[in-house]
Structure 1
Amino acid sequence: MTPTYHRAPLADLDPHVLYRVLRLRVQVFVVEQDCAYEDLDGRDLEPGAELLWAADGDEVVSTVRVLHEPAALRIGRVATAPAARSRGVAAELMRRAVDRCTQLDPAASIVLDAQAHLAAWYARFGFVVDGEPFEEDGIPHLPMRRPGGSGHGA
C-alpha cells in the first residue's frame, strides 16, 4: 500500500471521493463500532471545514476533518479502514491534520475527543487529556488538547 494524501473543503470534493469518505466513516463508526448515530451532523458544511484523507488508488483508507471552533481548531472523525491500520497511514494523516491546523492558526489550541483506548496514540502528536472522561454512544472518551504555539513536535 502506497497511499496518497489529500485535503479539501467539502465543496471542492469530487462526489465519488466524498461518497468514499462518508462510506468509510459509516463503516468504522456505525458498523464496526456498532454506534447508531448521525454522522452527517452538518459540521462538514461549516465555513473553513476541511476533510483530509488517504487513498489507496480510488479507495479512501483513512480520513479526518478539521473544524473551526470559537477558541480552538478541532480534529475529528478520525477513521481508518481495517486493512490500513498499523501501517502508519493514520499517523501520517494525523501529522498532516496537526500541520494544517498550525498553518491555519499557529497560536490556536487543537482539540479532539479521543476514544479512551486511543489516548496514548493521540499523545504521540502532543495531545494531553484536558477534562473529565465521558461516554459517547457507549464508548469511553477523553477530551484532549494540543496547546497552540511553537515547541510541540509531532
Structure 2
Amino acid sequence: MNIKIKTFKELNLDELYKILQLRSEVFVVEQDCVYQDIDGKDSKAIHVMGFEGDELVAYTRCFEPGYYFDEAAIGRVIVKYKYRKYGFGHDIMKASINQIKNQYGSNNIKLSAQQYLIRFYETHGFIQSGEGYLEDGIPHIAMIKGT
C-alpha cells in the first residue's frame, strides 16, 4: 500500500472524491448509518490515504491538539471491505500516529472507537477512557494513546 499524506488544500479533486466515496461506501452504506459525514472539519485535517494503484483502500483524518479534543485526534479510520485481510488498517494507523508525532510533536492521541474495534486500537497503544456511548446509533468508546 502506498501512503499519501496531504492537507485539505493539497488534495486534488480526484483524491477528495475518492475519500468521500470510500467514507460513504463504508460508514453510510455498509454500516447502514445515516449521518452527516461532510461535517465541515475536513479543511482542518491532515488526510492520510492508502492506495493500491489508483484505488483508495484505507484512510484516516488527523487533527492537531485542541481542535477536536484536548489531545491530537484520529478519525474516520477506514479500510475498504475487500482489503481488510491485508493488515492495511494497521498500516494506516501507524502512518497516522507517526504523522501526528511529526506534524504536531504530540504522543497524546484520542479517538472515538467503534466498540467492536477496541482490540485493534489496543494493539496501537490506545486504552479505553470512560464509558461507552452511542454515536450515530453505533456503540463507541473514547480511547487515548499517551506517551
Q: Per the alignment, in what secondary structure is the counterpart of residue 36 of structure 2?
A: coil
Deviation at 1:19, TM superposition (A): 0.3
- Overall identity of the aligned pairs, in %: 34
1:31 maps to which residue?
29
Question: Which residue of 59, 65, 85 corresponds with 2:61?
Answer: 65
Query: 1 CA distance for matches of 2:76 and 2:104?
Result: 20
1:136 maps to which residue?
135
| Counterpart residue type for residue 34 of structure 2 | A
Structure 1 segments (4+ residues) deviating >2 Å: 104-108
Q: Per the alignment, in what secondary structure is the counterpart of residue 25 of structure 2?
A: helix
| Counterpart residue type for residue 16 of structure 1 | D
Query: 2 CA distance for matches of 1:131 and 1:109?
Result: 16
Query: 2 CA distance for matches of 1:131 and 1:105?
Result: 25
Query: 2 CA distance for matches of 1:129 and 1:145?
Result: 7
Gapped runs of 5+ residues in structure 1?
150-154
Deviation at 1:57, TM superposition (A): 1.2
| Counterpart residue type for residue 14 of structure 1 | N
| Counterpart residue type for residue 17 of structure 1 | E
Question: Which residue of 17, 37, 49 corresponds with 1:53?
Answer: 49
Q: TM-score, normalised by structure 1?
A: 0.89
Cα RMSD over matched residues? 1.1
Map 1:1-154; keep pairs closer than 5 Å.
3-46=1-44, 49-70=45-66, 71-147=70-146, 149=147
CA contact (8 A) 2:72 2:106 kept: no
Task: Deviation per CA, 1:104-124: give whole Å up to 9, x if none.
Answer: 334451000000000010000
Q: TM-score, normalised by structure 2?
A: 0.93
| Aligned residue pair count | 144
Gapped runs of 5+ residues in structure 2?
none
